[in-house]
Amino acid sequence: MNGNSIFKSRMARREALEGLLFAGPLLLGLLIFTLFPVLDSLYISFTKYNIFTPPEFIGLQNYRNLVNDSLFWQSLRITTIYSVISVPLQLVAGFAVALLMNQKVRGITIFRTIYYLPSVVSGVAVSLLWVWIFNPDYGLANVMLRAAYLPTQKWLTDPRTALGSFIFMSLWGIGGGMIIYLAGLQGVPQHLYESASMDGANIYQKFRHVTLPMMTPVIFYNLVMGIIGSFQVFTQAFVMTSGGPANATLFYVLYLFRQAFNYFRMGYASAMAWVLFAIILALTLLVLKSSSAWVYYEGERKR
């Protein structure tokens, strides 16, 4: 070994050490706030545990109880319906608005701000605003319906329309997805459009054969994030309806929270959390698996 390579290997070793040091916060964080809680949560899900007395091992009992819990099924049903409707809706609406945003017209930045702003302000204040908007007597939603000579709705106060109201409200927040699409659209290389034009492609063909394929990675990203988000709705349900009326908006995480921190059934809530994790994982894997059929990655051409 000559001096140079000894020096190099020493450099490499030092770099490895520094690498570990710099990543320290992450390694510790993964350990303390992820790995340990995940394992602990799995264990708790097999126990009866109310935080105040030590957990008592009961095997699969929590999971068995879940199967017979009608409110569990209700919450799963509600959340699934919400996800199945709102995710594709947001995907399409966000994309459509992004296409509109991508036009070079005057005042576009102002519009971009207006569309994007609702997705930045969220949480309790916005939830309260929507309770007021959905007020059956004096709310903005019914004011608009009346103006259009349409029948007014009871919105959040009727079990039949409550979940729909949440889906409607979620459309106000499509700005988040829209901005990501917009970034994607602006990243589509201009020369692709130019060569398409030279081949005599019209607007629709350019969209179908250039824009859409180039955007599939972004659609994929928004789809996965949308699915994950839709299964974790909490604040809006807690603030706006606390699950009512007649459990029509008893979102999964709201029910989980209730089991854990109102009834102190930590074991049961942990079992629910694991079922949720399994659902999210399964759906993500499904999307991932399907992605090879419809997601186009530029790098793949080289293969």
Q: How far is the CB of 2 from other proteins (least distance, A)?
A: 20
Give the residue carrying structure tokens 């097999």: 46
Q: Does 282 help bind other proteins (rule: CB under 8 A)?
A: no
Separation of alpha carbons 153 and 116, rounded Å: 27
Q: How far is the CB of 176 from other proteins (least distance, A)?
A: 8
Q: How many residues bind other proteins (CB under 8 A)?
A: 96
**Of residues 212, 276, 287, 291, which one binds other proteins by CB under 8 A?**
276
Q: Does 18 help bind other proteins (rule: CB under 8 A)?
A: yes
Separation of alpha carbons 68 and 74, rounded Å: 11
Q: How far is the CB of 265 from other proteins (least distance, A)?
A: 10
For the chain, the 3-state helix, strand and coil shares in percent, each to the nearest 5, are 75, 0, 25
Nearest Cα neighbor of 66 from 219, 253, 271 is 271
Q: How far is the CB of 59 from other proteins (least distance, A)?
A: 19
Q: Does 6 help bind other proteins (rule: CB under 8 A)?
A: no
Q: How far is the CB of 89 from other proteins (least distance, A)?
A: 15
The DSSP secondary-structure symbol of 8 reads H
Q: Does 253 help bind other proteins (rule: CB under 8 A)?
A: yes
Q: Does 281 help bind other proteins (rule: CB under 8 A)?
A: yes
Q: Does 63 help bind other proteins (rule: CB under 8 A)?
A: no
Burial of 125 (0-12, 13-18, 19+ CB in 10 A): exposed
Q: Is the dihedral of CA 207, 297, 227, 30 positive or negative?
A: negative
Q: How far is the CB of 148 from other proteins (least distance, A)?
A: 13
Cβ-based nearer residue to other proteins, 88 or 123 = 123
Interactions with other proteins, residue window 91-130 (CB under 8 A): 97, 100, 103, 105-106, 108-109, 111-118, 120-126, 128-130
Q: Does 256 help bind other proteins (rule: CB under 8 A)?
A: yes
Alpha helices, H only, 158-206: 162-171, 175-186, 190-198, 203-206
